[in-house]
Structure 1
Amino acid sequence: MRCYKIWLYRYEKMGPIGLEAAGMVLLFVFVVGLMAGFVDAIAGGGGLIMLPGLLFTGLPVSSAIATNKLCGTFGSLTSSVKFAQAKQIDWRACALMGLPVALGAYWGSRSIDRLPSEWAEPVVIALIAAITLFVVFNPGFGTAKPVTNREPKTDLRKQVIWSLLTATAIGFHDGFFGPGTGIFLVFALISIWPLDFLRATGTAKVLNLVANAIALTTFALSGNIQYDKGLCGAAGVIIGSFIGATFATKKGTKLIKPLFIAVTTALVSKLLFDYATGR
């Protein structure tokens, strides 16, 4: 009730012109969420669209990251349901990597005000660029069928160790910075388990949901979330995620892989331009 009164007081003070401007901002956030949800459901990286959109509306960085997490949680939930219905989720990977992802996300969200974030963007750009080049120059990557019989104990041990380490690191990134998490998860799942692009994308949505939920709880307690923009963005993300996940499960790996390459290439280009121009 107190939050409702604060919002009501704020909008009453705006007057008709201010309300019209506020409405345009919320519509802009909704449209950005629509695009982010669609892209994220297919290839990951929706946060790299949503976060700049929120920053463009004038939110401070910490508030934009927290609000983006609200949008991302709804998107991950929607995509997870669609991929689960299509039976394109590896629940073994979810069971093994879920807890370290959650712990990493908690540590990352707790560190957001304690560690400098300037290094995060160039690191993310470099990693996504490297992943894109690797996928382009390895045509068979992400097209193999999941391996169900892994006899050698050493191989299984390596699989478990790498799963735990990468899940913790990606979870920390998700809580601390966020954008690019889906791309990193898909790449890790294909590399470690291995899975094809479709199944890896579905599994990544569940792990992303876990990380988002943990980080979102921390951000909500800190009071950094701007709920009016967050809920409008979430509405767009839900619709975009539903359309994107439906599209992905119907078309399969043969279409997801080239889209993954196209999305990561576009995102790297945009991030490089923004970083070079100081945006």
Structure 2
Amino acid sequence: MSLFHLALAAAQTPAFTPTPWMYPVLTAIAVITGLVDAIAGGGGLIMMPALITVGLPPHLTLGTNKIQSMCGTTMATWRYHRAGLFTLAGNGVLVAVTFAGALIGALVIQHFKPQVLSLIVPVLLIGVALYTVLSPRMDDGDRHDRLGARKFLPVAGGVGFYDGFFGPGAGQFYTTTLVALRGMGLTRATGLTKLLNVTSNLASVIVFALGGHVLWLLGLCMGAGAMTGAIIGSHFATRFGARLIRPLLIVVSLALTGRLVWQWFAG
């Protein structure tokens, strides 16, 4: 099943009980997901297909994936904050706008056919990959802030909306816009990305949980795996900086683009 059609079957899917083997298998996969997410984002490229493959219904795939993603990004956020890559004090409004955007997106996805994203998102991700490859700005040096904090708020809200509405590639969009529009170095942008990512994940979890679309035990087991991966990934990212983040951002963006394009043509 295509990721774009997950929401369409949500209201028509029966209850689901995971079998025991799913817990260790999906938890192990979540370790890899958390590692990739902590460095470059795009963990949904790994976890969403895994959840679909083991037979989770569409609405539970979306909600349960958000649980593990929130756990992983929470750990990565804490690690990046400890490394001094961002402060909470100056980002309160940014977090609030991102949360509101994601909350609206998660509500809208339950009433809106998202097939149009199957054409838009690959184009955006290709743009992210090309910008990362070609731009001399994608390193750890801070540069001119083109927008300023206030004018960047609609951008953050828009990416937050997308994360709540659909999700894959949101980390890349956060990071690239922070570098291109706010002039941040790549490692510092990656740190702030995790704060925004955990914010939009939290908003999504609230909406899906209120709708009863979360397998809590499975999601928390996967969350423990994602947190383990996030510890490893954030350690490597803070140690190696743009030398590691830049190539992985390119690989993940292109891989996610390829998967979305393939899904479109596969129907």
Q: TM-score range by the shorter chain?
A: 0.7 to 0.9
* Paired residue secondary structure (1:119): helix
Relative to structure 1, the CA distance from residue 125 to residue 231 in structure 2 (aligned partners, 3 Å threshold; closer, same or farther) is: same
Give the Cα separation in 2 of the matches to 1:45 and 1:28.
Answer: 20
- Look at both structures and tell me which one has the larger radius of gyration over its CA atoms: 1
Q: What is the aligned counterpart of 2:197 among 208, 216, 230? A: 208
The number of residue pairs the alignment matches comes to: 252
CA distance in 2, matches of 1:91, 1:42: 20
In the alignment, what sits opposite 2:137?
141
Match of 2:172 in 1: 183
Query: Structure 2: how far apart are the matches of 1:63 and 1:184?
Result: 25
Change (3 A) 1:49 1:268: same
User: CA, structure 1 residues 93+41, in 2 after alignment: closer, same or farther (shift >3 Å)?
Assistant: farther
**Pick from 212, 226, 243: which aligns with 1:254?**
243
1:130 is displaced (CA, Å) by: 1.3
Counterpart CA distance in 2 for 1:274 and 1:117 is 13
Post-superposition Cα deviations, 1:68-106, rounded to whole Å, max 9, x if no partner, equal 111111011100111111111255773342111011011
**Which consecutive residues of structure 1, in runs of 5 or more, have no partner in the other structure?**
1-9, 12-20
- CA distance in structure 2 between the aligned counterparts of 1:133 and 1:85, rounded to whole angstroms: 31
Question: In the alignment, is the contact (CA less than 8 A) between 1:70 and 1:234 conserved in 2?
Answer: yes
Q: TM-score by structure 2 length?
A: 0.87
Alpha-carbon distance in 2 for matches of 1:94, 1:74:
21
What is the identity percentage for the equivalent residue pairs of Structure 1 and Structure 2? 31
Q: What letter matches 1:264 in structure 2?
A: S
Going from structure 1 to structure 2, the CA distance change for 1:30 and 1:275 (only over 3 Å counts) comes to: farther
Unaligned runs of 5+ in 2: 1-15
Contact 2:125–2:257 (CA under 8 A) maintained in structure 1 = yes
CA contact (8 A) 1:33 1:237 kept: yes
2:169–2:253 CA contact under 8 A, matched in 1: no
Contact 2:143 2:185 in 1 (8 A): no
Partner of 1:39: 36
RMSD of Structure 2 on Structure 1 (CA) = 2.1
TM-score, normalised to structure 1's length? 0.83
